[in-house]
Structure 1
Amino acid sequence: MTWSKIYNIIKFVAKSVYRNFEVIKSVLLIFLIMLSLILTWSLWTLKPNYSNLEETRTLKKAQVTDTKKITDVIRPSQIIYYDKNSYRGMPANDNFIERVNQMLENTKFYESRNRPSTNIDEKLKNKEYIEVIYPTDMTADIYSQIFNLTSSGGTFTIPSADRVIFYKKDTNEVEAHIISYTQRKMITASTTFPFDSLKNIINNAKSGVLEYEPYDVERDTDQGAEVSRRFYFPKQSFELNSYSYLSRSINSDTIDRYKNALFRDPGNVKSGNTGEYYTDESSALDVNRNTNRIKYTNFTQGPDEDMTQQTRSPLFNSVDFINNHAGWGNPYYFYNLDPTSGSVEFLLFVRGIPVIKSDMEMKLGWTNNELNEYQRSLVELVMDDKEYSFKPKKVKLQSAAEVKAALKEYDMSLVNKLAVGYEMTHARGQENVYNLQPKWFVNYGPSHDWQPLFRDSQGPGGEF
């Protein structure tokens, strides 16, 4: 092809473009508009494939098969029925506690009134009543989760309280006192609580019912002595079973389960030079093989920050966190809340009794709704298979008189709690077998340490 022919072709194309410039411009504009619409639609319907992140999230969900609600982890520590002559209760009875919890969930509370907390005993001494005692003071937002509260006829300003007393008025209407002895606060509310049904369960029980004695810790006030705390102890010595359980093996798969659940991106986690210590840019996981415990620390949130920004109960945050990070393992129940520090504690329960052992405690710390620290045991007892259980043995526990005598060695202003719990020890020569021995325990001192009430050493204190 000669250059003249090429020149003529170019000249023809140029003239054609010039003559049809407006048409070409319109077509190009339509094309760009269509392309813009296609790209916008693609952006709206885009599903990113963040493989590492999605893999981690899927793994977390697959591992958590034992999620719980708030009502699943809160249970009374004692339920006492007073029949105008004596106090009775049923210790270490899971079925009984579950039935009472169901009754409470279905009970409506309404028409609340603020009342002074003085002279409660005088007001109730000629009435039958049922006292539901929780292991620690609970705030109003927690009660709103476990009770059916209505605002008809008044507003609920429930104090931080650890007990609810139900009693029948002369009209047979059932009222409730929600009481805080320590804060000297109380509200009274009308309720639909099935008082007679619960009374009949205790009266008709063929076994397991014990008679109790109250034990009051008093303080001096301008109006005289006043109850600051109240405990109930079985009047006579009584028997409970000791048990032995196998535990599941703790291996690298166990550690990986928590690594995958706790770290946002397990693929970027680095191992420490000594021991089992794992970290990324914002958190760390420390595995203690001597105690079989883990400690997860979030470096992005300092424990000394302003707690006034805590807009949600640390208990609610803790339940959500455990539900989404490898689950519970064994039956743990809420046992303590310190609103000032944002600390929440859960204890392992076996057959209705807590395991009082620091190595088995589950503890979480929160500031401004952000996790500071998560500690828990890696030990999981095999509790759902009768084939692996051992024959229980009877253990005799001390009576109220003996408990009161032992408490004379203590400064009662430093006694936080008293409870029957299991002391957990390794079976001799069997690494994966644990013995659970029931004993009286006292929670003592500003550090809230648990220790056996009866022991060989003299005076309060000491290890167990």
Structure 2
Amino acid sequence: MGLKYIEQVKSVILLLLILLSLTLTFTIWTFSPSYNTNDTPIVDIAIAEKKKMEDVVKPYRLLYSHEDKLTGSTSPLILEKVFSSMKTWELQTVEPLKNKISFQQINEYIRTPNRLTFFYPAEVPIKTFSKILSFDDRNLPDASFNRLVIDWNKTPDEEVHLYLINTIKQKVYTTHVDKVDKETFSANIYKQSISLSPYNEIEREGQLSLYASNNPENIMGFTYYLEDISVAPEKFRNALFSNPSLVQSNPKGTSGKEYSDDSALMIVNYMPLELRYVHPASESNNAGNPAELVQQTVNFVNEHNGWTNEYRLHRINPATLQVSYQLYLYGMPVFSKDTSTEIMQQWGENRVYRYNRPYYTLNESTPIKTRDVPLSSGQATYDLISTISDINMSSVDEILVGYNLSKDDEQPLLNLEPSWYYLINGSWKQVSPELLGGGNYGLE
């Protein structure tokens, strides 16, 4: 009788354990923790705005070749109008036309009548360009170009040819567009060209030609108020560090501030209004793919809405994983000795390694002062600098109007003065106003 009673007790205990196990399991499955959303505040990392690829990959000049003359423009409104008429095109297969072409052959591509050439400041990967215009070709080459030549000599056959020329590597690729709407093409591209400013081709034996405007013109100069930018470094801190609450900040006297955590460092310089960020652990010695680098760098700035003004693709160096974007104002590049006018990224292992940039903003809609500045023609400027004995004119690769940005020494103002610049040995040099006005100061 005692053994039977013990067995009954065991059975009851076992049943209770089973029921308890089922209860706990059900509780775990149905438990929903109550989170306090106020413990982790949302950090605002939006600084300015995002950009599309077509916003940062732009030509700086277009040039039409007619039967007896050249006309051209650097106006962003005109360039956009002409380029927008091409956005309905579907480009066909891209093929190499010549493996190595001479500079004289490149000049011939551009001067042949009934052609339009877009000039780009950087070597644009064709795969990057496919995000701006539509390509039927799904196997685009790993190639790039800095001159886009559109040939409408075959327009009666409703076909337009395009030549993608790399003047640095001296290579040319070709593609075409079928069934182009001739009326739209003529209205937006050909008729537009007639009224543009005349240009001269400056031919140089064995070298690329230069193209210079033939008329003097007035360019608007601007003065902007340097608005309160003390909040900008804090926004970049929130954007660039994975956990902003753990970032330590230390003043650098009155000249700037340092922000750091266990993995990265950001230095803010109050003058010249720029910041430098580095993430040492991500450094890489590998070369990169140009198209991938452009996409990565655009995505990175978009992640924190970091396009504070108009910046355009300026330079790609696949060997060092560097991509630079130059500040532009009304279609003209901005240069400065007082502050940075360039966003530079150096990519690393799966993330940005270095990030250097300005943190000021030019409020283009509200300049506090404007003025007309008379400038000589591009041809007259070229003729003038060619008389300077210490300039090797064969090393000059371009001549154009840009803005010189300077900071007022006594007031929180930024002045932008239009000026002629020339590109020599990879650097832009200003033609000083004193030289153009007959002074004794020479080149800057």
Say whether residues 1:95 and 2:77 are aligned partners.
yes
Aligned match for 1:353, one of 315, 318, 332 = 332
Q: How far apart are 1:26 and its partner, in Å?
A: 4.7
Give the aligned partner of residue 21 of structure 2: 32
Give the aligned partner of residue 438 of structure 2: none
Say whether residues 1:266 and 2:247 are aligned partners.
no
Kindly tell me: are residues 321 and 271 of structure 1, through their superposed partners in 2, closer, same or farther at Cα, counting changes over 3 Å? same
Contact 1:68–1:323 at 8 Å: present in 2 too? Answer: yes
Say whether residues 1:214 and 2:201 are aligned partners.
yes
The letter of the residue matching 2:130 is: S
Aligned match for 1:202, one of 187, 192, 197 = 192
| Partner Cα separation in structure 2 for residue 132 and residue 16 of structure 1 | 99
Contact 1:363–1:375 at 8 Å: present in 2 too? Answer: yes
Give the aligned partner of residue 451 of structure 1: 429
Q: How far apart are 1:165 and its partner, in Å?
A: 0.6
The letter of the residue matching 2:318 is: P
Contact 1:127–1:168 at 8 Å: present in 2 too? Answer: no
Give the aligned partner of residue 422 of structure 2: 442
Q: What secondary structure, in the 3-state scheme, does the structure 1 residue paired with 2:306 have?
A: coil
Contact 1:89–1:202 at 8 Å: present in 2 too? Answer: no
Kindly tell me: are residues 326 and 181 of structure 1, through their superposed partners in 2, closer, same or farther at Cα, counting changes over 3 Å? closer
Q: How far apart are 1:214 and its partner, in Å?
A: 2.4
Contact 2:125–2:291 at 8 Å: present in 1 too? Answer: no
Aligned match for 2:44, one of 34, 59, 64 = 59
Aligned match for 2:150, one of 154, 160, 166 = 166
Q: How far apart are 1:161 and its partner, in Å?
A: 0.9
Contact 1:415–1:442 at 8 Å: present in 2 too? Answer: yes
Unaligned runs of 5+ in 1: 1-10, 219-224
Kindly tell me: are residues 122 and 284 of structure 1, through their superposed partners in 2, closer, same or farther at Cα, counting changes over 3 Å? closer
Contact 1:311–1:369 at 8 Å: present in 2 too? Answer: no
Contact 1:243–1:393 at 8 Å: present in 2 too? Answer: no
**Cα deviation code 1:256-310 (max 9, x no counterpart):** 122222211121112236341111111111111221111111121225x2225x5
Kindly tell me: are residues 350 and 402 of structure 1, through their superposed partners in 2, closer, same or farther at Cα, counting changes over 3 Å? closer
Contact 1:64–1:324 at 8 Å: present in 2 too? Answer: no
Contact 1:443–1:450 at 8 Å: present in 2 too? Answer: yes
| Partner Cα separation in structure 1 for residue 194 and residue 263 of structure 2 | 57
Aligned match for 1:283, one of 264, 287, 294 = 264
Q: How far apart are 1:212 and its partner, in Å?
A: 0.9
Aligned match for 1:115, one of 73, 94, 97 = 97
Give the aligned partner of residue 183 of structure 1: 169
Kindly tell me: are residues 158 and 278 of structure 1, through their superposed partners in 2, closer, same or farther at Cα, counting changes over 3 Å? closer
Say whether residues 1:338 and 2:317 are aligned partners.
yes
The letter of the residue matching 1:436 is: L
Say whether residues 1:86 and 2:69 are aligned partners.
yes
Say whether residues 1:300 and 2:278 are aligned partners.
no
The letter of the residue matching 2:93 is: E
Contact 2:60–2:120 at 8 Å: present in 1 too? Answer: yes
**Cα deviation code 1:428-451 (max 9, x no counterpart):** 6432x2221111112333xx4332
Say whether residues 1:430 and 2:411 are aligned partners.
yes
| Partner Cα separation in structure 1 for residue 110 and residue 50 of structure 2 | 40
Contact 1:425–1:435 at 8 Å: present in 2 too? Answer: yes
| Partner Cα separation in structure 2 for residue 76 and residue 313 of structure 1 | 20
Say whether residues 1:376 and 2:361 are aligned partners.
no
The letter of the residue matching 2:92 is: Y
| Partner Cα separation in structure 2 for residue 419 and residue 49 of structure 1 | 59
Q: What secondary structure, in the 3-state scheme, does the structure 2 residue paired with 1:355 have?
A: strand
Aligned match for 2:118, one of 112, 125, 132 = 132
| Partner Cα separation in structure 1 for residue 5 and residue 169 of structure 2 | 94
Contact 1:159–1:185 at 8 Å: present in 2 too? Answer: no
**Cα deviation code 1:205-255 (max 9, x no counterpart):** 5xxx3111223566xxxxxx4x4x44321023332121222231222x222
Q: How far apart are 1:31 and its partner, in Å?
A: 4.2
Kindly tell me: are residues 22 and 345 of structure 1, through their superposed partners in 2, closer, same or farther at Cα, counting changes over 3 Å? same
Q: How far apart are 1:17 and its partner, in Å?
A: 6.9
Kindly tell me: are residues 353 and 17 of structure 1, through their superposed partners in 2, closer, same or farther at Cα, counting changes over 3 Å? farther
Kindly tell me: are residues 279 and 22 of structure 1, through their superposed partners in 2, closer, same or farther at Cα, counting changes over 3 Å? same
Alignment RMSD? 3.4
The letter of the residue matching 2:321 is: G
Contact 1:383–1:389 at 8 Å: present in 2 too? Answer: no
Unaligned runs of 5+ in 2: 436-441
| Partner Cα separation in structure 2 for residue 46 and residue 198 of structure 1 | 62
Contact 1:318–1:344 at 8 Å: present in 2 too? Answer: yes
Say whether residues 1:148 and 2:134 are aligned partners.
yes
**Cα deviation code 1:379-402 (max 9, x no counterpart):** 2122223xx542322322343143
| Partner Cα separation in structure 1 for residue 164 and residue 73 of structure 2 | 22
| Partner Cα separation in structure 1 for residue 26 and residue 36 of structure 2 | 23
The letter of the residue matching 1:438 is: P
TM value normalised by structure 1: 0.80
Give the aligned partner of residue 364 of structure 1: 345
Aligned match for 2:299, one of 320, 327, 335 = 320
Give the aligned partner of residue 157 of structure 1: 141
The letter of the residue matching 1:162 is: N
- Equivalent residues in 2 for 1:37-56 (5 A)? 38-39=27-28, 55=41
| Partner Cα separation in structure 1 for residue 283 and residue 214 of structure 2 | 47
| Partner Cα separation in structure 1 for residue 395 and residue 25 of structure 2 | 73
Structure number with greater Rg is 1
Kindly tell me: are residues 396 and 16 of structure 1, through their superposed partners in 2, closer, same or farther at Cα, counting changes over 3 Å? farther
Contact 1:239–1:396 at 8 Å: present in 2 too? Answer: yes
Kindly tell me: are residues 246 and 134 of structure 1, through their superposed partners in 2, closer, same or farther at Cα, counting changes over 3 Å? same
Contact 2:290–2:318 at 8 Å: present in 1 too? Answer: no
Percent identity, aligned pairs only, is 19
